[in-house]
Amino acid sequence: DTGVSQDPRHKITKRGQNVTFRCDPISEHNRLYWYRQTLGQGPEFLTYFQNEAQLEKSRLLSDRFSAERPKGSFSTLEIQRTEQGDSAMYLCASSLRTGTNSPLHFGNGTRLTVT
Amino acid sequence: TQLLEQSPQFLSIQEGENLTVYCNSSSVFSSLQWYRQEPGEGPVLLVTVVTGGEVKKLKRLTFQFGDARKDSSLHITAAQPGDTGLYLCAGDRNTGFQKLVFGTGTRLLVSP
């Protein structure tokens, strides 16, 4: 079990630039989630994939955000025209579809700083 | 807006002391999970409680789900420096997948 892998670990960008993050879930996991965590807060749900289908998107995910999971394996999260308010830790998690309580395995996140 | 409020937000204690962290909501959850998060890492699941009134133990940690499934507590006996971290509760509103609502977190510091 190599765990959930996220890349990069840290990203510093200037306001207005586009950024893309990658998540590689645990290989047999068919469910993949993106959460966002700002300083001093718990994570907030952004979006959910089952295989390659994006089945749920939070209202937090403005039209500047897009997530894909093209082959049902790795996923990318792109933020266009970044704003300072986008600065946060972006966490990816994966799980098996064996029931609603199948545990989430989180990656170590990508910390985004928008200057 | 966080639907789950945790208290206290920060706790600094000496090794060997006992402590309790509370997680409260006005909403009912189908299950509640507790995570621990270290700086620069993702949250790691400690336990899931499902049934109202359920109590689960994990070594020195005792987790309880409220009878009405709206609140939960985490009790640590004889805390150790290795218990230091951010403790997060997270509720599942029975969406059919893990669309969790996380609490505000309790940062615990255990000094030797």
pLDDT along chain A (115 residues), means of 10: 91 98 94 94 94 91 94 95 97 82 90 98
Run of H or E residues at A47: strand A44-50
Burial class (CB in 10 A: 0-12, 13-18, 19+), A47: buried
Yes or no: say if B47 and B34 are a contact pair by the CB < 8 Å rule. yes
In a mutational test of the A interface, the residue from B98, B100, B106 whose CB has the highest number of chain A CBs within 10 Å is B98
Chain B residues within an 8 Å CB radius of A95 = 98
Q: Tell me the C-alpha distance between A32 and A22, whole Å.
A: 12
| Average pLDDT across chain B, whole number | 94
Chain B residues within an 8 Å CB radius of A90 = none
Q: Tell me the C-alpha distance between A5 and A106, whole Å.
A: 9
**Closest Cα of chain A to B15: distance in Å?**
24
Mean pLDDT of B29-57: 94
Q: What is the pLDDT of residue A97?
A: 72
**Res. B36 pLDDT band, cuts 50 70 90:** very high
Would an 8 Å CB–CB cutoff place A95 in contact with chain B? yes
| CA neighbor of B30 nearest in space, from B70, B74, B83, B76 | B70
Yes or no: say if A96 and A4 are a contact pair by the CB < 8 Å rule. no
Q: What is the pLDDT of residue B38?
A: 93
Q: What is the pLDDT of residue B78?
A: 98
Is 90 exceeded by the pLDDT of residue B94?
Answer: no
Yes or no: say if B66 and B54 are a contact pair by the CB < 8 Å rule. no
Token pair in block for residue B57:
């133990």
Q: What is the DSSP letter of B103?
A: B
Burial class (CB in 10 A: 0-12, 13-18, 19+), A5: middle
| CA neighbor of A100 nearest in space, from A50, A27, A59 | A50
